[in-house]
Amino acid sequence: MSTTFLALVALIPILVALVLMVGLRMGAMKAMPIAWLACVAGAVLVWKLPVHYVMALSLQGVSSAVGVLIIVFGALLILHTLQASGGMETIQYGMQGVSKDMRIQAIIVGYMFAAFIEGAAGFGTPAALAAPLLLALGFPPLASAVLCLCFNSFPVTFGAVGTPIIVGFGASIKGVVEAAVAAGQFQSVDQFYKVIGETVVTMHGPMAFILPIFMLGFITRFFGPNRSWSDGFAAWKFCVFAAVAFVVPYVFLAWVVGPETPSLVGGLLGLGIIIAGARKGFCVPDDIWTFGEQSKWEKEWTGDISVSTSTEFKAHMSQFTAWLPYILIGAILVITRIDVLPLKAWLNNNGVVNFKAILGYANVNDSLKLLYLPGTVPFMLVALLVIPLHKMPVEKAFKAWTTTAVKMKAATISLCASVALVKIFQGSGVNPDLAAAVAAGSAKYLPSMPLAMATEISDIIGGAWPMFASYVGGLGAFITGSNTVSDMLFGMFQWDIAGQLNLSRVVIIAAQAAGGAMGNMICIHNIVAVCTVVGLLNREGDILKKTFWPFLLYGVVVGIVAFILLSTGFSAF
């Protein structure tokens, strides 16, 4: 059976998801189970895997998905709890009075506030929160959506406290990483994740400076009264100021602590710094730029929600009290992720649920570290602390928990199907029915689904792959709506193709992580969510036409950085 044929069959589930979700605009809750069935069919009919074994791999995927879902639940719970307590509206109120210049507002809200929310919650919440705030500040709905989608990129790799790296790659390449650890190439799996984080901040770093300047010029060119790039570029000093305020803690934490905190703490510290700087006029342009009179706006810029009558926010408590839950989340994450402190080991060794030899297959295992999952500590813990901290009625808190639970339905179905598909992808390289024959040397396993695709693509593209690796990550996010699921889907594929081309796996896996993050710009799931909150339903195509160009630019920059890292021998592994 040719590798080309196997690669085409392996591609079918991905194409099914793409056609259903993009072409037919079917939700992930329906599309991903169908893609999983397509994967099951390929595994049974072409790879000749036992049905019982495919079911075991699928159950392993469901177990892994539960870990992701606990994080998603905790992240959404914090958001809904703060919305119910008035804390989120207080935070939004505080944002309104910083500067009248809409370029400065775009950086504070779209760039920094969204980066912080991404680090804390992830999963599409930053753009959905920041875009309505920009709308309330007087931004055209279309401009608000485009800005927030594009800025929600470089923080995403470390979003929801490192979930894309820790959970995404944990579900896809943990087995081969453990083998690398056993071979002495890394001290531990956690150390490998940390190295990926160190590498990916190097790839995101240039765009953290380039993107705010580019996007301000982009917005003033297509939405400004003068249709001029230079109006946006005139605020370049404040963009650089904001980038430094974010990138310094972002890089420091990625290199010193790990992948859980760079976006969360970088966004939180950066937000405080640039708000203080804006209030004092530091690096702020002398002129005040706005979008001009609404009567002169083009009709396509607006939607169902009138900018002039949008929400007026008010404070329900002090700014410190409103921000305190996020401060606690950041502090708890730091003290529970540092190796020298005892809490990390205690959380890792307690509350562990193991699933061994699922359905009798010794190579199909999984475990859940319930206490170490950030959805439990700190998210659920802090959600409970918010009740006394914000003097919150118990009924409102209960409603926040039930609302979160109800909203988990779609995520639960789509994630379980997605991760089950990924596990079949991974496990397809081992056929239990052939184990004895393989051991005797009379048979051999077919290449796994990711390896078959990697072999074909490496033959076609060859050494130019570093320029394309991030776009594969972006395609995964575009299809699945998640950097985490993109890393699950393509992690092993990227690992295998790096091996085929004798490239550093660290650099290529980091490019995948960066690509999954930049894919949030064009992710259908995120675009639909933003369209909903700014009143632009059925205008997804208009937004995608705008966000595609920053996405393309981002991938070029990541590819150049990947080539530089490879040429300088950044990592031999």
Helix (H) / strand (E) containing 368:
strand 366-369
Whole-angstrom distance, CA of residue 443 vs CA of residue 445: 7
The SS3 call for residue 298 is coil
- Rama region for 537: left / alpha / beta (φ>0; ψ in -120 to 50; rest): beta
The SS3 call for residue 10 is helix
Whole-angstrom distance, CA of residue 445 vs CA of residue 434: 7
CA atoms within 13 A on the CB side of 246: 32
Whole-angstrom distance, CA of residue 416 vs CA of residue 394: 32
What is this structure's pTM?
0.76
- Residue 198, φ and ψ in degrees, nearest 5: -60, -40
Which amino acid is present at 258? Answer: G
CA 340 to chain CA centroid, nearest Å: 28
- Taking residue 52's Cβ as centre, other Cβ atoms within 10 Å add up to 11
pLDDT value of residue 86:
93
Q: State yes or no: cis peptide before 378, omega within 30 of 0.
A: yes
pLDDT value of residue 97:
76
Which amino acid is present at 568? Answer: T
Hey, what long-range contacts does 280-284 have (CB within 8 A, 24 or more apart)? 282/241, 283/237, 283/238, 283/240, 283/241, 284/99, 284/101, 284/104, 284/235, 284/238
Supply the DSSP string of 223-271, one letter for each residue. Answer: HSTT--HHHHHTTHHHHHHHHHHHHHHHHHHHHHT-TTSHHHHHHHHHH
* Burial class for 196, CB neighbours closer than 10 Å (0-12, 13-18, 19+): buried
* Burial class for 302, CB neighbours closer than 10 Å (0-12, 13-18, 19+): middle
Which amino acid is present at 207? Answer: M
Whole-angstrom distance, CA of residue 445 vs CA of residue 104: 58
Give tens-digit pLDDT for 136-183: 778 998 999 999 999 999 999 998 778 899 988 988 898 899 998 998
Supply the DSSP string of 174-198, one letter for each residue. Answer: HHHHHHHHHTTSSS-HHHHHHHHHH
Rounded to a whole number of angstroms, the distance between the first and last alpha carbons of the chain is: 31
pLDDT value of residue 121:
67
- Rama region for 314: left / alpha / beta (φ>0; ψ in -120 to 50; rest): beta
Which pair of structure tokens corresponds to residue 353?
């649920």
Whole-angstrom distance, CA of residue 572 vs CA of residue 498: 12
Which amino acid is present at 366? Answer: D
Whole-angstrom distance, CA of residue 451 vs CA of residue 526: 30
Stretches in the chain below the pLDDT threshold 50: 308-310
Contact 91, 407 (CB under 8 A): no
The SS3 call for residue 354 is strand
Q: What are the counts of helices (DSSP H) followed by strands (DSSP E) for the chain?
A: 26, 2
Which amino acid is present at 511? Answer: A
Closest by Cα among 6, 42, 53 to 427? 53
- Taking residue 256's Cβ as centre, other Cβ atoms within 10 Å add up to 12
- Taking residue 425's Cβ as centre, other Cβ atoms within 10 Å add up to 29
The SS3 call for residue 155 is coil
Whole-angstrom distance, CA of residue 320 vs CA of residue 382: 15
pLDDT value of residue 309:
43
Give tens-digit pLDDT for 255-310: 998 898 899 889 989 999 999 999 999 999 999 999 988 888 988 888 765 554 44
Task: Find the farthest-apart pair of alpha carbons in the chain and give their distance in angstroms, rounded.
Answer: 79
Domains in the chain: boundaries: 3-286+319-567
Alpha-carbon distance values, 247 to 102, 207, 210, 218, 427 (Å)? 23, 10, 12, 22, 38
